[in-house]
Amino acid sequence: MSLNTYETIYVLKPDVTDSVNFSLVNYYKGLLKEKGANNIVVQHRGRRHLSYNIFHYYDGIYVQMNYQANGQLVKFLEKSMRLNDSIVRYLTIRQEIMQSVDVY
């Protein structure tokens, strides 16, 4: 089965502690590894103001994950995020890999 490249960004509630934040990052990174994802890169994007309030929150803590996986793993990951009370929003996009082209 071929692996696609995905980017998942999730937004945590602003009152989430650093320890909960890091434990979630480690949980999702471990989940991706366990289910067969490759090239997992996690970046903390920090606290940002939301364009509109979500559940009466005006700020959120953004975390970005880039990885290679199959579509079934993405479904599993998003279901896990949907059930997590600390996450207010998440979005996964499939990224197209650009072939490098030599231009002379």
Predicted confidence (pLDDT) per residue in 26-38, tens digit: 999 999 999 999 9
In a domain, 82, yes or no: yes
Task: Print the domain residue range for 22.
Answer: 4-95
- What total of structural domains would you count in the chain? 1
In a domain, 88, yes or no: yes
For the beta sheet containing 87-95, the strands, ordered from the edge strand earlier in sequence to the opposite edge, are 38-54, 57-69, 4-12, 87-95
In a domain, 52, yes or no: yes
In a domain, 100, yes or no: no
Bigger pLDDT: 95 or 98?
Answer: 95
In a domain, 40, yes or no: yes
In a domain, 102, yes or no: no
In a domain, 84, yes or no: yes
CATH at residue 32: 3.30.70.60
- Quote the tokens at residue 76: 């599993």
Predicted confidence (pLDDT) per residue in 39-60, tens digit: 999 999 999 999 989 989 999 9
Q: What is the pLDDT of residue 29?
A: 94
Predicted confidence (pLDDT) per residue in 87-97, tens digit: 999 999 998 76
pLDDT value at 100 more than 60: no
In a domain, 103, yes or no: no
pLDDT value at 104 more than 70: no
Interatomic CA distance for residues 59 and 7, integer angstroms: 21
Give the pTM: 0.84
Q: Are strands 4-12 and 87-95 parallel, antiparallel or unpaired?
A: antiparallel
